[in-house]
Amino acid sequence: MKYLYFPTLSSTNDYLKEHYLDLDYPTYCVTYNQTKGRGRTGHSWEASPNLNLALSVLFKVDDIKENITLKAAIAVTKALKNIIDLAYNIKWPNDILIGNKKICGILTEGITTKDAIYLIIGIGVNINQINFSKDIDDKTTSLKKETGKEYLIKDIEDEIINKLNFIINHYNDQLDVDFIKKHLYGMNKEISYHQGQEIKKGRIIDLKTNGELVIETENDIKNIRTGEITIIR
């Protein structure tokens, strides 16, 4: 395993994307001052200097398993629980919340060449930041925002790396569906979800080992692979 720490870096995912051919597998890339963090669907990932963790890991796989982001969410949830036991919820498919506020976002990216498949899992955890920009402040939290205490970023990083190593070494294992269902944001609740341009309504009733979410709609049961979930009630 290789470990790279940068005092400042534009994006840990971008660094690994640029250097994936020249690195060991796995390589962890870490900064506490990420200046151009990327989120899903072209969004940016906000983090004030030296208050939060940005960590990405690069590794090689034989095939892409869609459930890997949920496995990473399990790894981060368990790591955070070891630091402080709060009411963590996994928001399918790639966020961790405390209550209904986001503390962690995960961005998984794959690179397929003719010789191999590389995966990059990028994880941002809000740790000591208490003020976020106006448009996200009320839906965002951090360990410090929740508890009023400061945390050593390195302690959280070590726990996360430890748990991520396990999921990388067990890439072919079944997804721990029970763990996710216990922590699943919106489980058994009425939700709305995007499908293409449409917004549909339904109730989350189950999760499959491949990571698909099972939604009961008015006249159907649907398995969905990607999307954005909002709780209606």
Chain contacts with ligand BTN (rule: CB under 6 A): 11-13, 34, 37-40, 43, 45, 54, 56, 95, 105-107, 122-124
Of residues 44 and 188, the one with the C-beta less far from ligand BTN = 44
Give me the least distance between CB of 76 and ligand BTN, in Å please. Answer: 11
Cβ-contact 58, 20 below 8 angstroms: yes
Residue with token string 């208050």: 51
Minimum CB separation from ligand BTN for residue 217, in Å? 26
Please say which residue, 66 or 206, places its beta carbon nearer to ligand BTN.
66
Alpha-carbon distance values, 162 to 55, 58, 60, 112, 159 (Å): 13, 15, 18, 26, 5
> What are the helix and strand counts (H, E) for the chain?
6, 14
For residues 38 and 183, which CB has a smaller minimum distance to ligand BTN in the complex? 38
Task: Tell the residue number behind the tokens 């909002």, with chain if given.
Answer: 230
- Compare residues 110 and 205 and give the one whose CB is closer to ligand BTN: 110
Distance CA 97, CA 102 (A): 4
Closer CB to ligand BTN, 97 or 215, in the complex: 97
Tell the smallest beta-carbon distance from residue 106 to ligand BTN (Å): 6
Beta carbon nearer to ligand BTN, 23 or 203: 23
Which residue number has the CB closest to ligand BTN? 105
CB 201 within 8 A of CB 192: yes
Kindly compute the dihedral angle of the four CA atoms of residues 138, 143, 146, 149, in this order, to the nearest 10 degrees: -130
CB of 57 to ligand BTN, least distance (A): 10
Distance CA 158, CA 44 (A): 25
CB of 140: closest distance to ligand BTN in angstroms? 10
Q: Classify residue 98 by burial, with Cβ atoms within 10 Å: 0-12, 13-18, 19+.
A: buried
CB of 28 to ligand BTN, least distance (A): 11
